Amino acid sequence: MRSTAPSSFLFGMCGLVAVVLSTGCGPKKPAEDASSESPAAPPPGAPGESTDDTKWDGSSTTTTPKPTTTAGTGVTQAPGRRHNEPDKDSVEIEMKRGARAVKEHCGETKDDAGKASGPWGKTKVSVVLGRNGRVKGVTVPAPFDGTPVGKCIVNSFANGMFMPWNGPDATIDWDIEVVQPAPPPAPEKPEKPKK
């Protein structure tokens, strides 16, 4: 008499493999019906789709751009930033930084004799912003031009950096103030010892 145990074991294993293969790794997604409630997304560039690659053929309408996030950095770009003119926020930050440096330090600038000789007061500085995001030139008016104070003003604005743009260079006039330093305190006279 033959034993049926090994053949029934093989038969059971084959049945188990058949069940696993027929079900795969889980239930399959049902086929989408053309009359389903959620239509498929239109292909890129299809009419009605908003993309940043707008073609300007004169017949298109403009849409308000949405804020976008730069991939991998988490930096959100502001909508409506124009790339053909300087970014007002970054330019304003650098101009205020330069004006603050002038107000705090340039009034104390000393000449060849070692004295703070001025001139002091309010004036305008003219800064040429290069489209590459760097300052190209700084001009100070008379009586500051050519003086140690004027050189200090130029140096305060010369290293400014801001967002680059695609348009031409720009010139910004900015109000500054050169503050006259307080006179040094008079040396104290030593007291005479009392007899």
Show the domains of the chain with their CATH numbers: 88-178 (3.30.2420)
Q: Which residue has the higher pLDDT, 193 or 32?
A: 193
Query: In 83-122, which positions are buried (b, 16+ CB within 10 angstroms) versus exposed (e)?
Result: eeebbeebbeebbeebbebbeebbbebeeeeeebebebee
Confidence of residue 22 (pLDDT cuts 50, 70, 90): low
Which residues have a Cβ under 8 Å from the Cβ of 87 and sit 6 or more positions away? 81, 162, 163, 165
Q: Which residue has the higher pLDDT, 87 or 79?
A: 87
CA 178/CA 147 separation, integer angstroms: 13
* Beta partners for residue 173, in sequence order: 126
**How confident is the model over 134-184, as pLDDT tens digits?**
999 999 999 999 999 999 999 999 999 999 999 999 999 999 999 998 887
CA 52/CA 64 separation, integer angstroms: 10
Confidence of residue 54 (pLDDT cuts 50, 70, 90): very low
**How confident is the model over 102-139, as pLDDT tens digits?**
999 999 998 888 888 889 999 999 999 999 999 999 99
CA 112/CA 151 separation, integer angstroms: 13
Out of 58-62, 72-76, 181-185, least confident range: 58-62
Structure tokens at 136: 């190209």
CA 116/CA 180 separation, integer angstroms: 8
Is residue 51 scored above 70 in pLDDT?
no
CA 159/CA 156 separation, integer angstroms: 7
The pLDDT value recorded for residue 55 is: 41
Q: What's the per-residue H, E or C state across 31-82?
A: CCCCCCCCCCCCCCCCCCCCCCCCCCCCCCCCCCCCCEECCCCCCEECCCCC
Out of 16-20, 61-65, 171-175, least confident range: 61-65
